[in-house]
Structure 1
Amino acid sequence: MTSPFIDTHIHLDTYSDEEQKMILESLPGCGVETVISVSMHLESSHRNLKLAQQFHGLVKPAFGFHPEQPLPSDDEIKALFSFMESHVNEMIAVGEVGLPYYSRLEAMSGVKKWDNEPYKALLEQFIVFAKKHDKPIILHAVYEDADTACDLLKKHGVTSAHFHWFKGSSETIRRMNKAGYYISFTPDLLYESEIRDLARQYPRAQVMTETDGPWPFEGPFEGHMTHPGMTAHVAAAWAELQGLSLAESNRILYDNASRFYRLND
């Protein structure tokens, strides 16, 4: 019997109600056991908690603040952390959190002033929370931002870090590998050379599958709504790159996600 799939990073709450129902009802038929639904902000966290309560076991919620948006006010930050404290036993991880690489590039290309320090300070608060409550943390941190995130993780002794849809230098990849951090691959593993190169070299025991839905994909997924079932295609592509059978690939990826997110505890 083949191992099921786990979508370790999806924004399920941002789909329409009809799409959510269709996706969740179709998961068993796609071989998907669980999706980890990450949050954008406080309102998103509320929605993901509700989905997890409605679809117990199928949806595991993570709470956080996506960095590619304007910073919340101090009161909004306080309210988010208060919510997280109140629901710490219901959250599987802190996420999605990180640093605004793409927003920063856009601002700087337009010759706008940019202060990254408040984003770093907010990320550090999330890392401290993850350490305090022994929760994994899901990171949006690519290229040089990944090094900043690694510095903060090391500072606070956080080892359960998941860098989703990661891109970075060879030196950063080695650093993350040595620290034991996990990464996950999206459906662009089928056609993006940079991601395929990363998949060839990152340790087998530290990789997982994700979709980052509803983000749309190209190649064979052009024009299709992003669905957790696409993790099967990701697993098959990774198997080919690693020279593994589908059964072995599926088992490794499932075991990795189950272990990292403590799904069988």
Structure 2
Amino acid sequence: MAEALVLCDVTENIAVVTLNRPQALNALSDGVLAALKEVLGGIAVDAQIKVVVIRGAGKVFCAGHDLKEMQAGRAAEDKGAAYFADLFSRCGEIMQMIPQMPQVVIAQVHGIATAAGCQLVASCDMAVAAADTKFGVNGVNIGLFCSTPMVALTRNLPRKQAFEMLTTGEFIDAARARNLGLINRIASEDLERETLDLAQTVAGKLGAALRIGKRAFYEQIDMPLAQAYAHTGAVMVENMLLRDTDEGIAAFIEKRRPDWA
């Protein structure tokens, strides 16, 4: 029996999702996209899971779309137009699922993250990378501008820096990626351990507060200033009225650990 294209291991309240196509550099084939959507959809409705880590098996995180599959799509009578439209729609749907999930999603990145693989990193809430990781949206090097990866990239990087990456196809290293805001941390030694440390720190917070806060973060980010304050003020009221928030504040004042349900 063939091994699953996407693996999911849940320990306590952290789910580790592994792209498991190492022989193809974890390229986002039709099968991988379908499996990833199914796994993330299942996690999204699991109230016990607070944090998700997405990583890649083998030598790299993800090398983007499966170019061999894409070329095979050209055999259709329409030269692949319908297949390509469906492919990019399905990929975009998954990239949009990640910020919409109630859990905090962290990319654990190593080797390379290129094109749609870089898009996946940019779509996650946070990212930790090995020091020797390379990032790129290099489709332009083969005549395919990374227009869909651009959506996530331009919501992470300054405009001119994103445009340079997209038009030159050049890779940036982890240090540059951190400086530009694509990743949060560079692992000094053990990538898996340091990513898990971050995941455990987040998972130690009140789950309801994380869910409310993540939702509000993405809702307010593109609002005009006054609307954003009005919206987040209402969110703060919602948060304050939680039983466990009341308990958390009382515990802080009384210098004790909160008794969260």
TM-score greater than 0.5 by the shorter chain: no
- More relative contact order, 1 or 2 (CA 8 Å, 6+ apart): 1
TM-score normalised to structure 1 length: 0.34
Please identify the structure whose Cα radius of gyration is greater.
2
